[in-house]
Amino acid sequence: MTTTTASTVIAATDGSALGNPGPAGWAYYIDEGSWAAGSFTRATNNAAELQAVLELLRALPGDVDVQIRADSQYVINALYGTGGRKAWVHGWKRKGWKTASGTPVANREVIAEIADRMATRPGRTEFVWVRAHQARGGDPWNEAADARAFEAAKAAQAGRPAAAGPGYRR
């Protein structure tokens, strides 16, 4: 599996919650030498998915272009948009961090930090949706991130630390 193009890091992000909310894990995966994972005692799957994106962006040098392969439509729509539509975060900010129905935006703090990082980093951040949990022909980055996020959630459930991984290495 190739992890970079000429100038773009290809990475997957994923989250796993055992119950929603429940013990949860997050992970990003670039390759066997560059990945990280962590856990929450109690969080939603969406919170774990977002944390994986945030941790990836924190780890990467700002000038690196990144393609984030994610199976979460929520994350992609919230931060990047699809089908020519703008990311939801732009409307939420305009509405004082309220949804279309007027309720407070869930996961506001992590969404705001990710959006700020995306807006200020010189490197390009692109999201690509991939189908989750495909036994045959699935996205290898997503499968690797999913396995690490699930293991982190199981570690949280068992009351032990998650395998953190080596982090970003280049």
- Of 117, 119, 143, 124, the C-alpha closest to 132 is 143
Q: 45-59 vs 108-120: helix axis angle to the nearest 10?
A: 30
Catalytic residue among 25, 38, 49, 55: 49
Catalytic residue among 96, 133, 137, 159: 133
Q: Is 90 designated active site?
A: no
Catalytic residue among 55, 65, 143, 146: 146
Catalytic residue among 14, 55, 139, 143: 14
- Of 78, 153, 72, the C-alpha closest to 118 is 78
Q: Is 14 designated active site?
A: yes
Q: Is 90 exposed, middle or buried (0-12, 13-18, 19+ CB in 10 A)?
A: exposed
Q: Is 116 designated active site?
A: no
Catalytic residue among 25, 38, 65, 71: 71
Compute how many other C-beta atoms are within 10 angstroms of the C-beta atom of residue 146. 23
Q: Which residues are catalytic?
A: 14-15, 49, 71, 133, 146
